[in-house]
Structure 1
């Protein structure tokens, strides 16, 4: 791989200053071609995963593009996420790129970051997000600088959607990770796989119902706490690796292998790791709630009119063909492209050369629009 330069970038945000220990809330790495300042650059951000050393950064820098792997104040701090402040932090990164001389800013929405970057562009062109419970939208979130291009790469359709699709509806008691409703247990051999259509329909409805129950409890609990003069609290969420598609390859068929990102779904489901495992009440409503969250891509994509590209690899175990198609269909851009026949898993670790192939694809598409 050709040589590229990396530069540490650390910025304050309009709603978060430097911490007492010295750290600034927004941090990342700017990757650029050796010996030059690119006029087109990508910015990639996730809700909580560290994207500073994103796997595509050196590949795109090698092809002549800048790449800002950017982190908001919520890197590794998902339990306290609020969308309005995350968007302000992304805006700090976009502004930094503009001041650096970048003429074409490209939002890269990868994995969970797809809906986040869609929300950013949507808010920048038409402020629309709702504030966190009991809060107001800061002024800085009403004047975000828009980007010029949007790219979705193996992106989930939104935080509420992906969590609900993975939620185990067989949890009988939210405080007991071992409690099971037998008739909704995807791991009971008598149910499948393959899972019959009537079980799938009942299961999906129960997943939505679980999300809605948790949201209703959060609102009730916030009211109870407020009456006592308390602002918020944390709670744990159990069993979040139970998408039927992890076990049944006839549902949303693709080239994927059985399993989830952590391997065996049952083992992962009863283990301690996973999305949304720890939340404040306000964070649940801001990020995960089907009824209250603005972290759902569809409405935001309907406000995105800049040229857009959706890339979906064939062997992803957690983002499925229907997801890529839905994102493409939701985009309002007249110039939009769907590339759904790309080999590779979620992180393009396999097959060999998958990352180079996607980097070539992105560079070719960007070259026609950004030079």
Structure 2
């Protein structure tokens, strides 16, 4: 077996320096085969999840590639996420690969939520388009980002605002009361389903979008109200974000997934629990990451600027990424050379990682 070398990488950000305790804002682990430095390497980053020891890193390193599992300063700090800042810090990792690790070709791996993030990175690198969120200064470092040479989307969501909106429970009637509910929209009210009628699904989806828009209205109003006060932003909680009807009703977009299940287990328990996407936000983070109206974390516009060869891999038993998501990502890519592949596994492909690594390896070698 190929010996895999692991190297910790800690680097400053163009925006902030080292923490007082010594930690660098940008950190990751570089996996590579022992011996001569590889000429081709992957980089994978997520909005919030620690990707430093990504599950594919050792698999790809064993096949002769470098793999930088890379974290911006927003790892574990989703509540404060700002897209333009994150892109600048991904650029730090890409530059390190090219200037320090001796890599000639960089492959952007967009895994899970990182799919839209890495598409935004490539989009900004080839055609700068990302602007600061309300009240923030421009970030010069994102005007000259080194672009990737290939793009891979693996079990990727179609964007943060779309995911949150598709998952959020629109039956909540008071954003400050996690138990408030409109029975006519409650997905866990047996009178509504499952199975859920087409009429209920249409009404439910419209109510989800309306909830997102109401929060955006409130966030903009609060920011305006804070102007000229001692505060520039504020924190707030977002309740009940595990209520996609597809999680509950397997007849909606049938697949190999486990029925009545989501990433946090049984949807009704997860929905009323304390672990959820967007559960803690600042006003500006909502506008930057989650708002349908203002967020630039929607993948489609960025995918439309990606022209490098691209591979999309969909896990058919994924609990919360559906066939329509994978096809939407594939269709939105501007690349003429693109491929859509399927593996029968759940979101983190625990049972087929060697096969997924072989699939990616074979595609990369073709290119």
Q: TM-score, normalised by structure 2?
A: 0.98
Distance 1:329 1:316 in 2: 19
In 2: Cα distance, 1:24 partner to 1:250 partner: 47
- Most deviating of 129-138 and 316-325: 129-138
User: Which residue pairs with 1:193 in the alignment?
Assistant: 194
SS in structure 2 at match of 1:183 = coil
- Please name the residue that 2:353 is paired with: 355
Paired residue for 2:92?
92
SS of the equivalent of 1:349 reads coil
Aligned pairs (5 A) from 1:57-68: 57-68=57-68
Alpha-carbon distance in 2 for matches of 1:130, 1:198 = 38
| C-alpha deviation, 1:237, in angstroms | 0.4
What do you get for the CA RMSD once the two structures are aligned? 0.8
Q: How many residues align?
A: 365
User: In the aligned structure 1, how far is the partner of 2:143 from the partner of 2:253?
Assistant: 38
How far, CA to CA, are the matches of 1:314 and 1:2 in structure 2?
A: 30
2:146 maps to which residue? 145
Unaligned runs of 5+ in 2: none
Say yes or no: does 1:154 pair with 2:155: yes
* Counterpart in the other structure of 1:15: 15
Match of 1:119 in 2: 120
Name stretches of at least 5 consecutive residues in structure 1 with no aligned partner: none
Give the Cα separation in 2 of the matches to 1:13 and 1:198: 49
Q: For residues 105 and 323 of structure 1, what CA distance do their matches in structure 2 show?
A: 25
Alignment of 1:171-320 (within 5 A): 171-258=172-259, 259-320=261-322
Shift, 1:181, TM fit:
0.5
Instruction: Look up the match of 1:35.
Output: 35
Q: Distance in 2 between matches of 1:290 and 1:48?
A: 19
Instruction: Report the counterpart of residue 323 of structure 1 in structure 2.
Output: 325
**For residues 124 and 137 of structure 2, what CA distance do their matches in structure 1 show?**
15
Runs (4+) off by over 6 Å: none
The alpha carbon displacement at 1:135 in A equals: 1.4
Deviation at 1:109, TM superposition (A): 0.3
In the TM superposition, what is the alpha-carbon distance from 1:190 to its structure 2 partner? 1.3
- Using the alignment, how far apart are the partners of 2:36 and 2:310 within structure 1? 26
- SS of the equivalent of 1:274 reads coil
Q: Secondary structure at the match of 1:191?
A: coil
